[in-house]
Structure 1
Amino acid sequence: MTPVAASAPSLPSFIKMEDRKRAAGQSTDDLAPPTKRQAINGAGKAAADSDNTAPWSEDIEKYQKDAIYRQMLEYKREKATLESQLKNIQKKSTDHDDHLRIIDAWWTQLLEEVTLLAENDIPNSEKPEISFSTSLQFNGIKGFSDHLASKGIAIKSKLHTIFTKVAAARGKPSADLQDLQVKVTKMLASQKEYLVTVDRLRNEKEELNERLESASLRYIKAEKRLDRLRSDAVRKEEAKALYHSTANGIRAENSLDTEMTNGIAEDKEASQTAYKEAQAVVEKQKEQLEAMAAENKSLTEQITSASIKQVPSDDDYARTELFKQFRIQHEDVIKRINHLEATNIQLREEAEKLQAERTAYRIQIENEAETSTGELESQLQRLDADLTRIRSARDELLADLSVRKATQDQDHAAVEHLKELVGAKDDRITSLELEVERLRQIAEQSCQPTPGPEIDSLSLEQLRVKYDLLQQGYDSINKELPALQSAYKRVQALTSKKVMDFTALEEKVSVLAAEKSKADQKYFAARKDMDIRLAEVRSLKNQNAKSSEIISQLKDVETSDRTLVSNMEKQLSDMRQSNNSIMAENKKLEASSREATSKCESLKNQAAELTNLLKSKDSANSSTRQKIHAVELENEQLRIRCEQAQKDRDAWKQKSLSNQSGEEEMLRTLALCTICRANFKNTVLKTCGHLFCNHCVDDRIANRMRKCPNCAKPFDKSDVMTAHM
């Protein structure tokens, strides 16, 4: 069970409520009557209802978008949690893989060293009677057996061969020793199994604590998201809680079997000495095994009691303060649920009563609406007839108005032309007046033109007078010319304009005639279109009468949807009130949770310090015990050697006092080879200095038994040297 799986179904009721709200909003928008039909029907109430529902649909759309955005944020938080969890798992898997590779290499190295130590010194026994049990007895733990399945066959075969040789070299052990070995093996295996089980349970407990912590944090977040109010302080506390985790290492204990090597005795006394030493060592090991068995039993009892204490019972849970608080809260919630159910029943009865009143009122409104609809339809028919009559009168008036406008435009043009002619006449009058003035002046002077010879006879004064008269006439002519010119131009322009106006009028008359024919055609087409429209209006009225029943049904559905929305709003208000009370309780629980978290942190730190101290003490104690065991074994061996040396001393004393021939025989045996007892010692080994005959040394080199029989030190062909005695 992952934290995501635990926190996923935290808000099912609210999500369902949002889905129901979406359905209600969509049905209200989809089932609303269209605008055009409302306009044709003439009912003003439907238009008012559509105006009232427009902002409600906008609020529903905003609420849907807000819900989608919150769900996206939830998915984003779940993604971040899963990514962090995946990183932790990858890190742990890397550490586990490295640990397994180191264990495999260590096993291989250990097997090679034990094989080298027990290869040549111990004779091979093909059919051993007793085999030392090497099974780790982890059959109950499937993961451990599957993990070592690839290496198990090779390891078991090698260890079986090695310990078979060791058992054969030591001789046939006693029945008590076999029983002790079996018991020790079983106890060690059970101890390892208990240790692995305790370690696994500890890791599972830590993982469950982390999951519980993450689940509680997600529950707090879900409750806080209900009112859409989250402060910065709460965010910081949640971030601290999310990243608050403890890491523990995996403990593993490995035990190594002590190396056992024994040399072959040179003679009967040496073999007896070795046997006594081995017997003393075995006795001492028996005592140590008994002590270890007693200690193992006490440790097993402690582990059992610790495992029992580690898994709390229902009574322990019931005695905790947190359980009591949860029970009190549960009882309060049950009481509130009962109260809410009672209020819900009362509200349901009131809602049914209001629904009945609403149905009666709706029937009354529908009857009134039908009567008003009939009146409006009759009024609409009258208005259609009046509209047709008014349109025909309007067309006549428009035609008369266009004719009057055309005549008025023509009269206005004629007036303008007359004004221009009057202006030309005035110009002509002014020019004629100037001409009359000039002629009058000439008449007054009565001056007759004189021939050319007479001009020469005229005097200077007469010429001046003549010149003045001519100058006056010229000036008057110059004055007449602009008026005549302007009058001529105006007359010419008026004549050309008159001609152009007449041509334009002719063209305009032709265009108006064509337009009149087109307008007549359009008028007749419009009349036909109006007849078609009237037929369509009649068919639409019939369809409207048929669709009124559908509209009434849609209104019923709309009222039911609105009642559903009102009920949902009431439920939402109730949930908000309960949410506020739960938030207040949640704040109190958060305060108590913070205090408990701080206490738990301090206790965890103390437990970690004590664990480290115990580990250091245990390591020092184990090293001290190993040293004590080694010293005790060495002490037993030295004691046996001392006793044997005392016996040899007594024997030498007796021989020296009794007879000299025994001494000679002893000296002869000293000169003989200790391997074959036939040839004299004539070859020495440089590595250790022991003497043997050359035949025995050559045989050992040829048979690849290149270790000294006395001290088991390795030698080679180059380490052999001839000795002269």
Structure 2
Amino acid sequence: METKKRPHADDAEQSRAKKRAVSDDHASPSHANGTTTSHGDEPKEGDDIELFRKEAIFRRMRYYSREAERSQARVEDLERRYHTCQAGLAALEACWTQLIGTIRSLVKPEDLPSLEKESEGVHDLAAHLSSQADPEYVEALRDKMQTTSDIIKAFVSISAQSHSGPSSEEMLKRCQEAETERAALRSELTSVRARLHDSESQRQNYHEQLLAAEKRADRLQSKSLTSSSSAAQEEPNETVSTEPLSSPDPPAVNGNSSLDSDEWKDLAELRETKIEELTRENTELQTQLQTAQLQLRALPDEIVVESSQYKVLQERTSLLEHTAKESQAEATKLKEQLDNLMTARSDLEAGLKAANETALNELQQALNKRDSELLRMRTRNDQLSAEINERREKEKARLSTAAEFKTLAEARGERIAILESETQRLKARLTANAGDEDLMTFIWQNTSEDLSYVDDLRRRLSYVLANRSTNAEERVEALQKTLAGRGDAATSEAEVRRQLAHVQKQLDKYQAVYGDASSMPPETAQLSEQLQRKQDELDKLRLQDKQREQAESAIYSELDKLSAAWEALEKQLKKKVYDLSAMDERISKVQMERAKTDNKFFLCMRDKEAVDNERKRLVQNLDRAAKAIEKLGDAEKNLQSRVATLEKEVVLWKRMAEEQKERGNALEFEVNEWHLRAQGERKNADEMRAASAENIKALEQKRTELRKLEESLLKTKKDAEKHAAKLKLISASSNSSANEVELQKEVDKCYRLLKCSTCQQNIRNTVLTKCMHTFCRSCIDARIATRQRKCPACNLGFSQGEVTTLFLQ
């Protein structure tokens, strides 16, 4: 933490760390640096300690204010220089990068030969920098140096391969000149660095002396210090009384003995003279520095001419001028050759023009013939296209008609199938009503109309008879074989057995229905007959129920087919309606197109008549134009001869214009050069005027400050003289006892001043920087704790950051 003790110029390097003052047996404070003598800047008996402290704080604040102003000015200057350097470095970086990129774009990378880095130490710019240079700057310079040196070495190797560079003697001479210039610049740089170091050390010393002088001036302006110093001059140099009420002499600050006013005055005059000399020397150095900076910004022509870069550019310029002269001579020869070639070309163009006209006429005739043939082919193609379109439309109409017929046929087929199904159902109903189960089965099984029930019965009968005859024949053959030899008895026995089996079968059938007929009474026989009738009706109803079920399934299928047929017919009907509306629209469009075609036909007829009239008029004009062309051909020949002579004159005028243009370019280049020089000189003059104005302004400010300081010093001296005279009168009129009483009063007064005005117990050790009132720490802490942060003396509010510890020395 920064010490709160006031610094002094004479003890800036000898003072030690501040310690608390501890009273001994004689109530004499022990000093931090072990000194016992008094100092003129310390408060004496009878001084106003509150005023003394305020003035001390005010002097410290003025010191800090001056330091802050100097630091702010230096910061602004450094920021301005920093921005200028940043802009310069950015421009240099962009120029360097653009130069390397341009070189790389002009030469392909594969054309640059790979070189070993044996000369890296020679071209290493970073190796020749000062040891105090910025490491980042050195690293960036090395990176750029490597890329640039590689490209330059590759160009040097290419020029060495092509044998088109300067000679070795010229290169040696340039190298010696560069080496000499480098050594001179390095020695000059060393001397400039030494001078810069000396200037910096001198500037630091001057700054320290200026701070000390400003502090002394502040002390001389302080009223409390002036009164104390005048009182110290009036005191006798005799030994002080050793009575118990007398207090010891005030301690000296940092161990320095006091000086009388004459010595202080001589020292002030000596330092004032030294300050004036140093100020004058500083002004001269600043003037020289500004002049050097202006010279660096706009270098004189003599320095530029003597620089190595200017000499290199001058040699390059002379080489380019020589090349330009050679190119100009060669261009003159080429222009003469061009004139000869232009003359030959005009003759050749005339011959080619005649031949081209003949060939053009022939080609025009062939082209006309081809156009007529092409027109005929196009007409034929249009007719064929129209015929194809007509046939295509007919084919589309035929296909649409066939599709409609097909749709109608499918719909009628569905209708026929439904009617056939309905016929089959009706036949089945009739057979069911008749009770013929066999016929109904035949009808449901056979859906074809070609087959008949009689034919089916015949076919089945023939099949059964054929099977039975086959079986009978086989049985007859077997019986004939087994009963061979038995004769007629065996045959009659077989016939009897067959009849018996048939009778037995019929008997079983009747018994199954009526039971045993021999044992039934007449009523039972009647019931049996009724039962037989009911059985027949039951069979008939069962047959009808079976027919009804099959008819329902057939009706359902017919219903589905009818629904599908109805939808198809509905779609066809809608399509027909749409086709009818489309046909109406087409008919209306055809009628409109017919009307348009009629109009176009009449327009074409009128256009044809107009074209015929125009053709007749153009034929007449063509005859007239042919005659005019013959006349113009003669005029063209005359004009061509005249154009040839005028072209020769134009060539001569062009040559003269080019010479004048070259002279104008040279003069314009000189004018631009002088204009740039004038701008540079004008800028130089403006900068010098601005610097001079700033210096004059700063000088006026310094003079004003010096005048104010002289006036305040004179006023301070007068106040000191008045105070000294008053003290002499007081010391002469009072005796020793009165002095002791007065001293005791002053001590009590000082003690009361040292005590806190709020609690009247503790010593003042805390100051409020907002109003500069002092109190003890406990009173301020109580105010902060209760949040009543107002000064007890002036009732002005303060914050916790405005509370500072006060140190009494």
- TM over 0.5, yes or no? no
**CA radius of gyration, larger in:** 2
More relative contact order in 1 or in 2 (CA 8 Å, sep 6+)? 2
TM-score of the superposed pair, with normalisation by structure 2: 0.28
